[in-house]
Each structure stands twice: as structure tokens, then as C-alpha cells.
Structure 1
Amino acid sequence: MKNLIKTLILASTLILGACDSLLDTAPRQSLTPETAFTDVKSFESLLFTIYARVRSFNYYGQVMMIAPEIMADNLRIIANTGRYIGEEANADRAHIDLWTAGVFTGINEANILLTEIDKVDGDEALRAKLKGEAYFLRALFYFDLARVYGYEPGQEVEGWTASVVLRTTPTLGFSSADFRARSTNREVYNQIESDLTAAISSLAPQSMGTAGVYRGNKGAAEALLARVYLYEGKNAEAATMATQAMATLGLTNSGTGLVTAANYEAAFNTYPNPESIFEIEIRSVDWSSVDGVNNSMCSLTADVYTGAQFILTASSELLATYDQGDVRRQMWSPTTRSGADGIVYESKKWLGAKGDFLENLPIIRASELYLIRAEARQKTGNNSGAISDLNALRSKRGVNSVSGLTGNSLLQAVMKERRTEFALEGHRWFDLKRNGMTISKAGSFAPVPYTDYRILAPIPQDEITLNDLLENNPGYN
């Protein structure tokens, strides 16, 4: 009886999640792909639903941008609203929760599209495009789940290889609902690579800074695959794929295609950002009346609109990292806040460029390709190539070139460049973790050793209770 109840609960949850925004042509509980989708074009509405998962405040709309910064050493809290207090202290079970954030629902929706779209008539070019975007989004979802809940391949602690539950076919009803154990990190990364390879072959290039980057595109899939290879330690492949993406996007080895230092701040208040390869478009119709003031990146990191939360500021450790003349240092504006001691700093990246806390969020930017390739080249012994890539980016950020670096000194230079370039874009925790490094902290908070159980997020206990096959990460049992 217990297992029957679990099956009914699982099936109901998955069915409702999968049908969340389909056409109201029949009672919701009776919707099937056959009744909801009659031609290729009709699947586009499902794809838009999947994109909406990405902009959720529990995903890239907020959590995946902020949590990896404050869980490491880039941010500190200046007003206690209950948000990110545990994450700042790396308290037990205070981590990133993607398991219940709708990511698995997005995966199921992508699985529905990929499985069912070939069964209907329609334009073949559109079919290929929609499938390519679904592959891209499924890869993004699984990549984020994998790096939150598991170790990267080759970086396991005490042989722990468990990642997340892997599903590539849709759950449409009771007959296809089942419980599964977690796949290995290698299995999940293999699926991510496969999906991105399929996306690359199906999608067309889009120019940076155009509306085409609001959806999955060839350059975005190549850039994400380069990032995935870097996480996996496949450094030669990462360098090659970064080079391929740069060619697709028209970026040159000298940095042509990146914004100049004089235009860096303006780029973050332009939509789309001129360096965006993949950007989440957020419109006023996507928010309720209180979403912006309560949850937006603008509200939490700046004080430009009445009612802003403004609870986060740059750590002194981050501010000390910038070189003299670095335009990225100017993205932190000194100010004061009631209840906070002394000078604090608001971010000028997220200023609500569309008005009333509203802005788009760049998820993959062109500068990352130079830093992926620089790191990959350093790790494969191509020091001169790594330095060249570092300097190509630095020349566009108002700082002097570096020279003569080798070994760990060069790797640390790349890590520093990533830290300053992507502050408040959700990279810092993961950059330290994927390299097997101790998580450095701001202020008096203790560092988190790489072997500490808090490196991995816990699976919610309700999920463990529901599914006997799930085993939690070490330290959470």
C-alpha cells in the first residue's frame, strides 16, 4: 500500500508539472500530447513554458545568481531579512535547492517535446529548431543539477559518484511513472554532452546582443559545451569548443567583439547585453506586482527604486581583488544603508534597466569563452595561449596586460579574472568547487574544505522519504 500511494503521488505531481501551461482544450487531468499538440507549431507554447522555468526566482531569476556568490567570498549580507543567512554561514543544509525548484518539471517538458514532436506534421526547419532548443535547455537543467548535487568527474571525494536522477523520456501517466536511483556523475555528464552536441547540429547562429539570444542558439550551445568540458576536466576539448564558439560568434583572439571598458557599465543596462550569448528576457507581464521589489536582482543588490530590499553588498575581499583602473571595480558604487555600518556598495550590474526593478539577466556572456580557453590552455601547458586570452579580455576592461606567469600563478590569475568578471553572476562557488579547492569565505566566516560534506547540496528529506531508491549525499543521513 505504501508503494502504491507513492506511485500515485509521483504520477500526479509529474502530470501536473508537465501540463502546467498547455492549452485548455480539455480537463487538465485528461490532457495528453495527442490532444494538446496537433502540429509542430503548437509545441512552441510548451517550449516557452520551459524557458519560463529558467527565469524563476528559485533558479536563474535570483538563486543561481546570488547563492554561489554568498556561499563563497564575493558577497556579504547588510540587512537580515532571512534571505541567504544560512548560505552566508554555510550552515548545515543551507545550500542551493534545485530539486524542488521546477527544474525536473522543465526536464519532463523537454522530454515531452523531444519525444512527441516527430509524431505531428509541420515545418521541418521549425521542428529542428524547437528540438535543438529543447536539447539545449535539458542540458542546462541537468548541468546545473549535476554541479549542485554531485562532484565533477575526477574530483570525487571517497569515491562518491552519485549525481541526480536521469530521465530522457517523459512521464505522461501512471504507466510511465516510476522511482529511480541517482545516476552517476559520468552518466549525467555524458547525457549533457550528447544533448549539447544535438543542439549544436540543430540550431542556427545568432548575433550577440540581438533578440536571437533570448532563445537557445548555436553559439550558446557551443559555449555551454565548452563550459561543461572545463568542469569535467576535458581541457583540450574545452579549448577547442571555446575556439569554435568564438568563431561562430565573430569573436577574435585579440578581443574584438567584446565591449570596451568605456561601454562595460552601459552594457549591463542594455537589453540584450551586447555580450550576451544566452540571456533570459523578463517582461512586466512575467511578474506580479510585488515580484520586482521582493525578489529581483535589482532590489536585492541595489537601492535605485523606492522599497528596494538592498540586502547584499560586495565583500571587502572581492573589492581588494580588482586591479587599479579596472572598470569592473566601478560597478560597485559606494553608498550607505540604514542599519548597516559605514560605507556599503550597491551593484551597478542590476539597476532595473527596464524600469521598476525589471531587467533581463545574461546567463552566458562572450567574455566567458576567453576565460574558459585561458584556463583550459593553462591546464594543458599552453601558457602563452592562456596569457594571450587573459590579456584579450583585460584589454577591454581597462587593466594592464600580464606576462611571465606559469603554473599555479597563471591558474590563480585566471581564477581572479573570473572572480572579477562574473561577480554577481553565479560562478564563484562553482569555480572553486570544480577545481577541488577550499571554498574561501568573507569576513570571519570559516572556509569550507573541499572534503567537507557541505560542498554538495542535500536532497530534500521529503524526496528521500518518497523514493526508497534515493540515497542522500554523505553527511546528510
Structure 2
Amino acid sequence: MKLKQFAIVLLTAGSLSTACTKVLDVAPQQSIDALTAIQTADDVNQLVIGSYSLMGTGQLYGTNLFLLPDLLGSDFNAGAAAAARYATWVGTFQGQRQAFRKQMTRDNSEASRTWIAAYRTINNANLVLQNLDKVTDVAERNRLEGEALLIRGVMHFELVRLFALPWGATPNNSQAGVVIQTTASNNKDEAAAAAKPRATVAAVYAAVLADMTAAVGKLPASNGTRFNASTAQAYLSRVYLQQGNFAAARDAANAVIASGKYSLNASVAAVFSNRNTAESIFEIQQNDQNNAGQSNDGMATFYASLPGIGRADVRISNGFYNLYNDNDLRKREWYYLGTGARPADPANGVLNRYSGKWKSFSQNLPVIRLAEMYLNRAECNLRLGTAVGATPEQDLAQVRNPIRTNLPSIVNPTLADVLNERQLELAFEGHRIHDIRRLGGSVGTYAWNADILVMPIPAREVDATSGVITQNPGY
């Protein structure tokens, strides 16, 4: 059975709905038509498991959905303001270097890998939804449907945030978004015939919200390490916040907090050094044998600089590091001077300093933490002049307090206080460019809505569809 399910994942990985060209060279016995391969409820469940596995690859949450937003949101210019510099890419891989230096080309390797893997995952989710009739148990069917809907919604959301001008770039968000795929390709012939144009950003967000909202009603309150109803609410809070829908973002975050399922750890390091702690709403499961990579992919691969661990490719700006109060435990626990051989550049605020969040190849990767929900609710309540669930002062005190951070709680916090704590708390977890965009900021001289900050649509997708899928401006 395990071999059969592996074959299904390979098939759906090769059946990209937006390309006619061959993606995988697989042996004939692996090219199983999904209509033949998916026959039982266990087959459908294994396909969902395969979708989680795809999300954990280096192309997605295993690396790129964390790394690329941080590289895009870092100012690469020498002499840049200390905080704006954020991080520096000193590695040799050109795909990441192009993203950091804002010199991406239409054949950027990381853009292509991320696009392909996300649509593979979407196709897996669509195959699950297409085969729900194989699942006779009602509770199991609802659970699998909810997981597939949320997986599909999450992947469309991550794609539209990276490959399209951001929400708000046009008055009605009519700018080109990404291709919305809600039907499965069972084989390569169907994939070749399924080329569709990019939907507008408004339409993509509507599809994302529809999937995530439906998932809330289908998912159970508890589901092991897989998506549950609170995961869907947490993602909804992210989506609504990206749109500037503060009431909805607040209420979704409040639902997660009010569920009582999660609590912040006393130690800021615990969520990154332990697995599935009380503050983790969803994380990618990894171990020594199964992880995103130890040489060409993986968070520790690029962010760590320890004996035998890491390439030391992402160095933390000294200026950003010094935004933390010297007494802040996060400054001590989350940053360190590593063993990287590349020379430091003190004149430009660059030392051999690295993120302590990503130190092990086998560690789990927290994607959404409870701290984000407290920060979302605090920000939205402040903006709206409300106190749903708690006051902004109470929420901010959950994140910053004498026990957790060794800092006093902030009395009567301002919006600037909340946003500052957000960047300190969620640093190097893939939020950087997305927060710059929604807050109308800039990356050096590039405004939040600059074309150059948008990833290119892979050239193979544009070429294979004879322009049905259009390219982004500047590429």
C-alpha cells in the first residue's frame, strides 16, 4: 500500500495543471492514472498525507516560504539603514542571491520550484476532493475534505502573495493574481489540456477565503499534528490581516485564542527546540531521516552556522539585532555569533550573526504560533478601538512580559509598539515582505507595490501555455 500511495504522489506531482511540458521523468510503473490508483478511503487519506509531505519540502514550508519573503524584504544596498538591511544573503546559490539583490529573472530557479511544488500540492488536494465518495464514514470524509480545502486555500494564498502585486496595489485588486485550480488533473493528458489564465488578485483571495471558511466547518477541534479547525481560523486571521480586514482578522485570531487549545511557552526558545509545543498551531514535522534537506534545502542549512550544521548563507544584520533591548531574552536565545568562514563587514552592520530559531536539520518548523494570534488581535483591536477577547495591553503582555522576555509589559501600547513587537517576535519566520506590503512600507528605495519585489511567473509556464498564463511586469 505504501508503494501505491508513493506512486500517486508522483503522478499528481507531475500533473501540473498549468504546464504542458513533462515535469518528472518517472518509470512506467510509477505513471499510474489517479483514476485507477485511488480506490479506497485509505488511498484518499494517504493522498492527504502526501500533500502534507509536499508542503514540507524545501520548495514550500521546508525552506522557501520562510526564506524568500525574508530575502525579498531585506535591503541589499551597502550603507542601508540598519533595520532595513534585516538579513544578508552571502551564499553562492544564484536563485536566492537574485531574490536578495532584487535581480530575479524569468527563469529564477526558486520561483520555478515554489510555483511547481505549490500546484502539485493543490492538485493533490483537488484529487482528494474529487474522490471523497470513496470515504463512507461521515466524520472521516468531513475531516479529509476540510484538510484538502485548507491545503488548497493555503497554497493559493502563498502563491498570490509571492507571484502577484499585493492586495491594495489597485483600487479593486484587478491586477493579475495566479491561476485558480479547483479541479484535479488525473493524468498528464488532462494536465496538458487544463491551462487557464491568471485570475485577479481579488478573485484569488475570494477563493482562498471560501476554502478556508469551509474548512473551519469540516475540520475537527483536534487532529493530531494535522490541520484542525483552529489552524483554519489562524490562517483566516492571516489572510484577513493581509487584506486590511481588521474586524475579521481580529475575530479569527480571537477564535483561536478562545479555543483554549494553545498557550505560550515560558521559554522563547522552546517552540523551536521542541516538537509540537503548546504554542504551536501548525508546524512541519521533521526528523533525522525525513526533513527538507541538509545541503541544498532546509532552514538550518541556510540559517545555521554551527560545527557540522549549516552553510551560514543568511547573516543577520547587526542593526536589526540591536533593535532588541539588551535585556530581551529573545536577543540572547534567538541570535548567536556563528562559525561561518565568510568575512564580516562591520562597516555595513554585518557580523557573523545568525538566527537561533533554525539550528537543527531535524527540528520541526513552526508555521503558525499563538504569539502571532495575540499580535494580530492586539493590532486589530487597537486599529478599531475595540477590546474583543482582551485589551491590546493584555494581549501584548502575553508576548512581552518579565517571565517570557525579561522585559516589563508595555502600559497603554500604541500601534507602533505592537508593530515593533511583531517584527521582533516573528523575525525570520517568513513574514518580512508580507508585512512590508500590507503596512505600505518599502525595501530600500523600492516601494511596497514595486514590480521588482514580485516573483516572476516561471518562464516554462508562460511558454508552455503560449501566453495563456501571462508574465509579471519587468520580466
Structure 2-normalised TM-score? Answer: 0.83
TM-superposed CA distance for 1:181, in Å, is 1.1
Q: 2:409 aligns with which of 392, 401, 405?
A: 401
SS of equivalent to 1:183: coil
**Is 1:168 the counterpart of 2:206 in the alignment?**
no
* Alignment-derived partner of residue 54 in structure 1: 55
In 2, Cα distance between equivalents of 1:135 and 1:318: 38
Is contact 1:152–1:232 with CA below 8 Å preserved after alignment?
no
TM-superposed CA distance for 1:123, in Å, is 2.2
Q: 2:212 aligns with which of 176, 184, 196?
A: 196
Q: 1:52–1:230: structure 2 CA closer, same or farther, 3 Å change rule?
A: same
TM-superposition CA deviations, 1:291-331 (whole Å, max 9, x none): 31442222322233426311222112311211242221111
Q: 1:78–1:471: structure 2 CA closer, same or farther, 3 Å change rule?
A: closer
* Alignment-derived partner of residue 264 in structure 2: 258
Q: 1:53–1:265: structure 2 CA closer, same or farther, 3 Å change rule?
A: same
**Identity rate, percent:** 26
Is contact 1:299–1:310 with CA below 8 Å preserved after alignment?
yes
* Alignment-derived partner of residue 8 in structure 2: none
Q: Which moved more, 1:155-164 or 1:134-143?
A: 155-164
Q: 1:347 aligns with which of 345, 351, 355?
A: 355
TM-superposition CA deviations, 1:97-134 (whole Å, max 9, x none): 5653411111111111101112x253222111111111
Is contact 2:71–2:87 with CA below 8 Å preserved after alignment?
yes
* Alignment-derived partner of residue 209 in structure 1: none
Q: 1:161–1:82: structure 2 CA closer, same or farther, 3 Å change rule?
A: closer
* Alignment-derived partner of residue 4 in structure 2: none
* Alignment-derived partner of residue 32 in structure 1: 34
Is contact 2:115–2:159 with CA below 8 Å preserved after alignment?
no
Is contact 2:95–2:104 with CA below 8 Å preserved after alignment?
no
TM-superposition CA deviations, 1:137-156 (whole Å, max 9, x none): 11110110111122344343
Q: What are the equivalent positions in structure 2 for 1:160-309 lying under 5 Å apart?
A: 160-173=174-187, 174=189, 177-206=193-222, 212=223, 214-250=225-261, 257-260=263-266, 263-287=267-291, 291-306=293-308, 308-309=310-311
Give the count of matched residue pairs.
435
Q: Which moved more, 1:342-351 or 1:238-247?
A: 342-351
Q: What are the equivalent positions in structure 2 for 1:376-455 lying under 5 Å apart?
A: 376-382=380-386, 385-395=391-401, 396-406=404-414, 410=415, 412-439=416-443, 446-455=444-453
SS of equivalent to 1:196: helix
Q: What are the equivalent positions in structure 2 for 1:48-87 lying under 5 Å apart?
A: 48-73=49-74, 74-80=86-92, 82=94, 84-87=96-99
* Alignment-derived partner of residue 461 in structure 1: 459
Q: 1:77–1:32: structure 2 CA closer, same or farther, 3 Å change rule?
A: closer
* Alignment-derived partner of residue 10 in structure 2: none
* Alignment-derived partner of residue 133 in structure 1: 147
TM-superposed CA distance for 1:258, in Å, is 0.8
Is contact 2:16–2:116 with CA below 8 Å preserved after alignment?
no
In 1, Cα distance between equivalents of 2:73 and 2:94: 18
Aligned partner of 1:104: which letter?
Answer: Y
SS of equivalent to 2:354: strand
TM-superposed CA distance for 1:29, in Å, is 4.0
* Alignment-derived partner of residue 254 in structure 1: none
TM-superposed CA distance for 1:12, in Å, is 11
SS of equivalent to 2:269: helix
* Alignment-derived partner of residue 317 in structure 1: 319
TM-superposed CA distance for 1:385, in Å, is 3.0
In 1, Cα distance between equivalents of 2:121 and 2:211: 15
Is contact 1:75–1:312 with CA below 8 Å preserved after alignment?
yes
Q: 1:113 aligns with which of 124, 128, 143?
A: 128
TM-superposed CA distance for 1:229, in Å, is 0.8
TM-superposed CA distance for 1:282, in Å, is 1.6
Is contact 1:15–1:171 with CA below 8 Å preserved after alignment?
no
Is contact 1:98–1:145 with CA below 8 Å preserved after alignment?
no
In 1, Cα distance between equivalents of 2:43 and 2:422: 41
Is contact 1:78–1:311 with CA below 8 Å preserved after alignment?
yes
TM-superposed CA distance for 1:182, in Å, is 0.8
SS of equivalent to 1:84: helix
TM-superposed CA distance for 1:164, in Å, is 0.5
Is contact 2:72–2:102 with CA below 8 Å preserved after alignment?
yes
Is contact 1:453–1:475 with CA below 8 Å preserved after alignment?
yes
Is contact 1:205–1:217 with CA below 8 Å preserved after alignment?
yes
In 2, Cα distance between equivalents of 1:12 and 1:96: 15
Aligned partner of 1:400: which letter?
Answer: P
In 2, Cα distance between equivalents of 1:381 and 1:233: 15
* Alignment-derived partner of residue 334 in structure 1: 337
In 2, Cα distance between equivalents of 1:78 and 1:188: 35
In 2, Cα distance between equivalents of 1:393 and 1:9: 44
Is contact 1:133–1:203 with CA below 8 Å preserved after alignment?
yes
TM-superposed CA distance for 1:11, in Å, is 7.2
Is contact 2:18–2:196 with CA below 8 Å preserved after alignment?
no
Is contact 1:264–1:327 with CA below 8 Å preserved after alignment?
yes
TM-superposed CA distance for 1:369, in Å, is 0.3
Q: 1:314–1:30: structure 2 CA closer, same or farther, 3 Å change rule?
A: closer
In 2, Cα distance between equivalents of 1:109 and 1:413: 42
Q: Once superposed, what is the RMSD of the aligned Cα atoms?
A: 3.0
In 2, Cα distance between equivalents of 1:328 and 1:398: 9
In the alignment, structure 1 segments of 5+ residues that lack a partner are: 1-7, 207-211, 252-256, 440-445
SS of equivalent to 1:286: coil
Aligned partner of 2:177: which letter?
Answer: S
Is contact 2:102–2:453 with CA below 8 Å preserved after alignment?
no
Q: 1:151 aligns with which of 145, 165, 172?
A: 165
In 2, Cα distance between equivalents of 1:11 and 1:136: 19
TM-superposed CA distance for 1:71, in Å, is 2.1
Q: 1:285–1:13: structure 2 CA closer, same or farther, 3 Å change rule?
A: farther
Is contact 2:15–2:186 with CA below 8 Å preserved after alignment?
no
Is contact 1:78–1:340 with CA below 8 Å preserved after alignment?
no
SS of equivalent to 2:115: coil
